Structure 1
Amino acid sequence: MNTEYFAELGRLLAARGMPEQEVSATVADLTGYLAESGTADAREEFGAPDVFADRLTRGPGAERPEAGAETWKWTADIYTDRLLLNQYGAEGWEVEGIDFVGRFVCRRPDAAMRWEYRRETAHGAKEREALFADLEPDGWEPCGRWLHMTYFKRPAAASAGPAAELAATPATPSRHVFFSAKSRGLLAVFVISMTLLVLGYGFGLIDLNRPGTYLGMLAAIPVGGLLGWYGVKRDIAKGIESR
């Protein structure tokens, strides 16, 4: 059933003018996202393929920002996302969704109000339904999902009252990518490790012909990936934040 859904989505994206390479990449990303999220039904996750294709291509059925509204797309890691969502929510930015590459799609009209955000984790449709039912009475509504993380928003007036109104709005940020010091440190460790590996091989310090060396290096890649993913999941569960 999902194969038919993605085939139809690909056809619709192409019909709306999306380049063939981009269609293939989009369908591949969405297929991987669906597998990671644990949702069995693509239609349940993304909606009707024609409506979803409109959203992805900003076609005839897509929602368009009102006249005078600003739009801004940005991304952050798990250590900065909630801090920045609430920082920019206080400047009037409302998240309308998360696109297929993981960017927060935001809008800010002329008459802006403050927004507040939270992030929760849920595995599978039943957990998400229970989470929605628990948060809805307090005014929270889902505004995007990425893997097993769901983001919620509500007008700050729900907790701050009249103070949620904005008399003036700061300029649209020029940045679009935000990574914490922790993420930059992990990336640096990876780059340094790969550089040392290449240098070690180049200077003959690592002999791939020695028994077990090649297999050991191959085994280290998935083991390192699994350990890294476990660490990320642990940090998400603990709600660790960092600038």
Structure 2
Amino acid sequence: MMTTAHATYFDRLGALLRANGRPADEVAATVAELAAHLADADGADPVEEFGAPEDFAARLTGGTEVEDPAPGAETWKWTTDIYHDRRLLNQYGDQGWEVESLDRLGRFVCRRDPATALRWEYCRAMANGAAERAARTAELAPDAWEPCGHWAFYMYFKRPRAASAGPAAALDALARRPAEHVMFGSRVRRLLVATCLMALAAAVALVCFDYGDFVAEHPWSLAVFAAAGVAGGLGGWYGTKRDVAKGVEE
């Protein structure tokens, strides 16, 4: 049951999200999702469940911009595939690299300040749309996880390793900044090679045969090629989403 305190909390949260530039329909969906979650929790106190509305709004809208690094801080952008992301995130998080956001290309934007470096750990969740992202954030917040960016249908969370390992998470020395920026595994590399070979074969076929005459004689060929491209794209999207849901790793 929605109480006056709940209504006040969600009114404040909605105002803060809108002030951060979130569209009104997205804010309404997010607030409705969170209110339903709270109702399922037998009307728990929203502050205890989600934290203060100011802090919760900051977490929900976090990861879109990166503050200017402190003097002496290192920055690094890199990317990988979904079969290696969690392993590499935790490997580099153990070296003090904190993910601040994901950029539009899906690269992890990281920062490490040698003077205050901590060990970080990461996890990944699936979320379709703002409401699900808000729900995942609320579910993981009690364990000190905070969102550090999302891309496509998956989002990433971070927390200092001290939250799970205590004093053992202390970082005594810093490894050198990695030189790599793109770290795809063998599965993705094979897929890229196969795609390039198919594109090359198609280009050779177009050069060796008069494509204009072929299309004139077989007008249905354009529709077949277009359908094959769409089917391939949808198949790849479905396969990737299935692997993310299953947590497949290489």
Determine if the TM-score, normalized by the shorter chain, exceeds 0.5. yes
Deviation at 1:138, TM superposition (A): 0.8
Q: What are the Cα deviations for residues 153-195 of structure 1, in whole angstroms up to 9, with x where unaligned?
A: 0111111111111111110111111111111111111111121
Q: Which residue among 58, 74, 84 is the counterpart of 1:70?
A: 74
Counterpart-to-counterpart distance in 2, 1:136 and 1:103: 24
Q: Which moved more, 1:216-225 or 1:168-177?
A: 216-225
Contact 2:97/2:112 (8 A) holds in 1? yes
Q: Does 1:120 align with 2:125?
A: yes
Deviation at 1:40, TM superposition (A): 5.2
Counterpart-to-counterpart distance in 2, 1:67 and 1:203: 59
Q: Which amino acid aligns with 1:114?
A: R
Flag structure 2 segments of 5+ consecutive residues without an equivalent. 1-20, 31-56
Contact 2:26/2:131 (8 A) holds in 1? no
Match of 1:18 in 2: none
Q: Which residue among 215, 220, 231 is the counterpart of 1:223?
A: 231
Counterpart-to-counterpart distance in 2, 1:109 and 1:198: 49
Bigger radius of gyration, 1 or 2? Answer: 2
Evaluate the alpha carbon distance shift between residue 125 and residue 218 of structure 1 in structure 2; reply closer, same or farther with a 3 A threshold.
closer
Counterpart-to-counterpart distance in 2, 1:143 and 1:204: 51
SS at match of 2:239: helix
Match of 2:243 in 1: 235
Match of 2:169 in 1: 164
Contact 1:112/1:165 (8 A) holds in 2? no
Identity within the alignment, %: 49
Counterpart-to-counterpart distance in 2, 1:107 and 1:93: 6
Match of 1:81 in 2: 85
Contact 1:117/1:152 (8 A) holds in 2? yes
SS at match of 1:209: helix
CA RMSD in angstroms comes to 2.8
Evaluate the alpha carbon distance shift between residue 164 and residue 105 of structure 1 in structure 2; reply closer, same or farther with a 3 A threshold.
same
